[in-house]
Amino acid sequence: MSGATIQAVIFDMDGVLTDSEPLINAAAVAMFRERGLGVQTEDFLPFIGTGEDRYLGGVAERYGFPLDLPGAKKRTYEIYLALVPTRLAAFPGAQALVHACRAAGLKLAVASSADWIKIEANLRKIGLPPELWDAIVTGEDVGSKKPAPDIFLAAARKLGLPPGACTVVEDAVNGVQAAKAAGMRCVAVAQSFMPELLQAADLVRGTIADVTLPDLSGPWANAESALPPRLPIADLATPEPEGAPGPAPGPWGFWATVGFGLLIALAFVGAQMACGVGYTIAGRILRFRFDVRHIEQNGAFLALATLFTTVTTVGLCWLFAWVRQGIKAGDYLAVRRIDRRTLLKFCLALIALGVVSDGLTWLLGRPIVPEFMVRVYATAGFPPLLWLALIVAGPIAEETFFRGFLFAGFARSPLKGGGAIVLTALLWSVIHQQYDVYGVVSIFVAGLLLGYARLRTNSLFPSIAMHALMNLIATVETVISLRFFDGKL
């Protein structure tokens, strides 16, 4: 290929001519947040250069999040275009290189995976309007996006030139792969990715300002400049090969999650048994009376055991998340803040479910307050401790385990988000053996709502808040039942 005469230069746009990656990233994050899913900046790294369909859809797939792609893309562009007038700029040297190519008699093309609405806005803002170019190919013009070669081959056809007569200027791993697959020379500018990730290009330069006309015409191979400056987004993580969700660092897989989950469950049982032994010994020493045969229904014991096992459960969940390489424990367990409006919406949904559940229970002639709760509260000894255990500690422990650790692993498996919702709700319900079948089914239904909130928001906080609210309502109903209905409500 070194003997071919270069007659045209094909420029990628985002990350090559203009510093637009942080803007489209901010717009995409904002769009997902509006829909109730909290995503991270680095989630988009594997999909840079693949076009907005894959850029948004790939992240949604990772979280198992149902997304109306046309509507999501439309809203993302609305947010993006509002940022363009004040925050978009050309990279230093971009205009000079384009005009130097034109002055040298080279044909010019833009080949970007973005849609036309974004390309036109960007080019006009940076002073390189569409009419300046001999050809423009968008992601809407080809069937397969980068790293497939289609977009560069389409540009060559529009220019009326063979691929070997074209040099591509790219910034992304995806784009470099596409250019080489098209049989074109490629100059990579390390403005978005580290230079060592771009070595498939014929030449790597630090910035577009470092690229010269001789660089575009060759011959050369794998020459590299000094370490270049990079966009902040590239410092967040080492990107994987682009174009598919790929094996990016994330939660443990299904079977590892099951294995660690069993260890946590065994540790929980062990901690509860140890607490039972300690409580029994203390009872004999201090001479307070309780029925050892039904210790699990003793409110004072239940409060102490819940507080003790919460430390064990949360600690092990955090540990097994922390030892997983490539993801922070907080991100693994979805410890992410969400806006108050979204939190309130899900809490109101929980209240509505509680009203429907209590109404159905009453219509079936069943007690609204289970007998188990009546016995627990009657033997609480010091009620504030029981309230602390039921309304604070219990929800934190159970949600960290079920909607935190287990949910993350199941959602990453072939079960995806929907399967994770159902499976965690099922597992959560079956541990409540203190209730009859009707009670277990009711808990399962509540678990589906908690899992849905976890999936929609990508945060553990809504499910913790809803779980706490559910226990608060149940505890208040129990107090009312004991005080005004002799425990028969």
Please enumerate, as own/partner, the contacts of 29-37 that have beta carbons within 8 Å and a separation of 24 or more.
Answer: 30/79, 31/56, 31/72, 31/75, 31/76, 31/79, 32/59, 32/60, 32/65, 33/339, 34/75, 35/67, 35/72, 35/456, 36/338, 36/342, 36/456, 36/457, 37/63, 37/65, 37/456, 37/457, 37/458
pLDDT at 294: 67
Q: Kindly list the domain boundaries of the chain, sorted by start residue.
A: 8-235, 254-484
Name the residue type at position 407.
F
Decide: residue 485, CB within 10 A, 0-12 exposed, 13-18 middle, 19+ buried: middle
pLDDT at 290: 62
Q: Domain 8-235, what fold?
A: Rossmann fold (3.40.50)
Q: Tell me how crowded residue 315 is: count the other CB atoms within 10 A of its CB.
A: 14
pLDDT at 293: 65
The model scores a pTM over 0.85: no
pLDDT at 231: 35
10 has which bridge partners?
A: 109, 168
Check if the beta carbon of residue 463 is closer than 8 Å to that of residue 420.
no
**Nearest 10 degrees: CA dihedral of 164, 169, 174, 176?**
50
pLDDT at 340: 82
Check if the beta carbon of residue 328 is closer than 8 Å to that of residue 249.
no
Contacts of 274 (CB under 8 A, 6+ apart): 308
Orientation angle between helical segments 69-87 and 116-125, nearest 10 degrees:
0
In this prediction, the residues of the chain whose per-residue pLDDT falls under 70 are 1-4, 49, 218-250, 289-294, 326
